[in-house]
Structure 1
Amino acid sequence: VWRSMGRVIGEFFHIDEIVRDRVEVANPELLAEIARSGKGAVLCGAHQTNWEAASAVLSQYGVSPMAVYRPVSNPYVDADLMRRRGKYYGGGLRAKHDRETPFALIRHVRSGGAIAVAVDEEALDGLPTPFFGRPAQTTPFPALVARQCNAPLMLIHGYRTRGVRFKMFVTPIETPRTDDRNADIYATTAAVQAELEKSIRQHPEQWRWIHDRWRESIRSFGIGRML
């Protein structure tokens, strides 16, 4: 895992070159359809293989999402990271702990834009969802937005094939819309995690796992508070 992460850090400074001809998307027609439709979309991702390249390659198919990022404490480093990343996120980058961020993401989807959200990190106020055989605190936000905005939900995942070359996949996730909203959001969140688990099992060393996904939540999650 640390070897893979070291490669990602080194490759970050060559993202433009990598995206140009080193990332193969197995089913690009799904991304092209998102761009062509002009409707909102929710794209889930994880810290697999080179996740920066996986996010950046979306722009090659006309998808330019809004995404969440964690600001770096050093303002000079943060500004450089924003400069390198910003060109691939036409919808803008929103700070993770900004209270306005969830609402900005929802508005962006409602206006026809795409958003990109990481779904493999611990969420202390998330839903306990099955992940590798144990409940893991998981953000229900992508499922909530997809259901509320009637937007397609997709998981972006993949692996390093050889050297600095990657293969990515776009997997649609069904979002039920019944009379039980909470059950729908839980089922969709569980489906995302199940697909992510299947992908990670193929190349576990390429998943950046450096925190505890299985810690018990110290707070209950209120699904309605974001609407």
Structure 2
Amino acid sequence: MLLLLLRLLACLPLSVLHGLGRLAGGLIYALPGKYRTRLRANATQAGYPEATFARRAAREAGAMILELAYVWLRTPQAVARVEVDDAADLHEALADPRGILFLTPHLGCYDITARWLAQHRAMTVMYRPPRKTYLAPILSTIRNTEGLTAVPATMQGVRAFVRTLKQGHSIGMLPDQVPNAGDGVWVPFFDRPAFTTTLPGRLARQTKVPVVMVAGERLPGGRGWRLHHLRLPDPLPESPEEQARLINAAMETLIRRCPQQYLWSYNRYKQPHKETARHPDGTAPANAHDRPATSEESATPRTSGHTPHD
């Protein structure tokens, strides 16, 4: 039934999907509760305190959800709607004979970035195994397409990442999901300490590959998406803290380009269960009593520190 629903949605024009998604997102935001409170708090932390901004961000989150059917099941048509900001520079990065580590934050349509990149060189991304086992075959069918391979967010997936990079191919990760306790460091994200994964830096240093931050901005009128990118210094700093600071700063730069399309409702500042590390200022995390992350909500298995690509 889910696959049938996705196929029916994919038949709709992209502009209609975006319109329906924005309507749904606005309706959900109108309901009082934790979703609206967190969205406004995180947006305000980043310097966007206006209620109009929060409502627009909620509508864009709805558009992000409904456009996935189009991106997943009409990939050739979706990729054809992508335009690239500073295309020559990105193609130069793609021409690097080494593997490439692409980092895609929860900004715009982060699924379109992997599918566009996979048209140019083989790409491996991570996913969370679904809670409902009957969904696994459906999601596997959706995620694995020509040039794009999805691996589970486990140690097996981490090993696949290392092999892929050493073979000169690309991998994609979400750098702004909160990792498990012990798999990250506390560094600023929009001037507030956030527990940040250290795996991207470790992978880049171990395999000696470049790191490129990329995001797909949703264009108005259902026109498609515009890819933005930033290439991080090569090599990255040796310190995990400095690596994480650099990655968070690059994310902030991309988010500032289309801030309404960032997923502000994500609990970016939560403290993972059993994480006892202190903030850089020596204080306990402000949300130390938030609900602990479950094994599926955590960005990484305890021993790996990786961040799955949804």
- Which digits, 9 at most, give the CA deviation of each residue in 1:68-122, with x for residues without a partner? 11122334433223222211553x21111x2222222112211212110101111
Q: CA deviation at 1:147?
A: 1.3
1:192 — aligned with what? 247
* Aligned: 1:212 with 2:244: no
SS state at 2:219 partner: strand
* Aligned: 1:51 with 2:110: yes
Instruction: Out of 8-17 and 63-72, give the one that drifted further.
Output: 8-17
Matched AA of 1:194: A
Question: Using the alignment, how far apart are the partners of 1:6 and 1:18 within structure 2?
Answer: 21
Matched AA of 2:132: N
Please say if residues 66 and 105 of structure 1, whose CA atoms lie closer than 8 Å, have aligned partners that are also in contact: yes
- Structure 2 CA distance for partners of 1:163 and 1:81, relative to 1, 3 Å: farther
Please say if residues 144 and 150 of structure 2, whose CA atoms lie closer than 8 Å, have aligned partners that are also in contact: yes
Please say if residues 127 and 186 of structure 1, whose CA atoms lie closer than 8 Å, have aligned partners that are also in contact: yes
- What are the ranges of 5 or more consecutive residues in structure 2 without an aligned counterpart? 1-56, 278-302, 305-310
Matched AA of 1:103: R
Question: Using the alignment, how far apart are the partners of 1:100 and 1:203 within structure 2?
Answer: 35
Instruction: State the identity as a percent.
Output: 24
Matched AA of 1:104: A
Please say if residues 34 and 63 of structure 1, whose CA atoms lie closer than 8 Å, have aligned partners that are also in contact: no
- Structure 2 CA distance for partners of 1:88 and 1:120, relative to 1, 3 Å: farther
Query: Which has the higher Rg, Structure 1 or Structure 2?
Result: 2
- Structure 2 CA distance for partners of 1:158 and 1:118, relative to 1, 3 Å: same
* Aligned: 1:132 with 2:190: yes
* Aligned: 1:93 with 2:181: no
Question: Using the alignment, how far apart are the partners of 1:88 and 1:10 within structure 2?
Answer: 22
Question: Using the alignment, how far apart are the partners of 2:59 and 2:186 within structure 1?
Answer: 30
Q: CA deviation at 1:30?
A: 4.5
- Structure 2 CA distance for partners of 1:10 and 1:211, relative to 1, 3 Å: closer
1:63 — aligned with what? 121
Please say if residues 31 and 63 of structure 1, whose CA atoms lie closer than 8 Å, have aligned partners that are also in contact: no
1:145 — aligned with what? 203
**Structure with the greater relative contact order (CA < 8 A, sep ≥ 6): 1 or 2?**
1
**Higher fraction of strand:** 1
2:49 — aligned with what? none
Matched AA of 1:200: I
Please say if residues 175 and 188 of structure 1, whose CA atoms lie closer than 8 Å, have aligned partners that are also in contact: no
- Which digits, 9 at most, give the CA deviation of each residue in 1:23-61, with x for residues without a partner? 11113344434554432111100121111112211123x
Question: Using the alignment, how far apart are the partners of 2:60 and 2:146 within structure 1?
Answer: 23
1:26 — aligned with what? 85
Q: TM-score w.r.t. structure 2 length?
A: 0.63
SS state at 1:196 partner: helix
SS state at 1:170 partner: strand
Number of residue pairs the alignment of both structures matches: 217
- Structure 2 CA distance for partners of 1:158 and 1:9, relative to 1, 3 Å: closer
- Structure 2 CA distance for partners of 1:150 and 1:136, relative to 1, 3 Å: same
Match of 2:177 among 88, 111, 121: 121
Runs in 1 of length 4+ with deviation above 6 angstroms? none
Q: CA deviation at 1:177?
A: 5.9
Matched AA of 1:166: W
Matched AA of 2:270: R
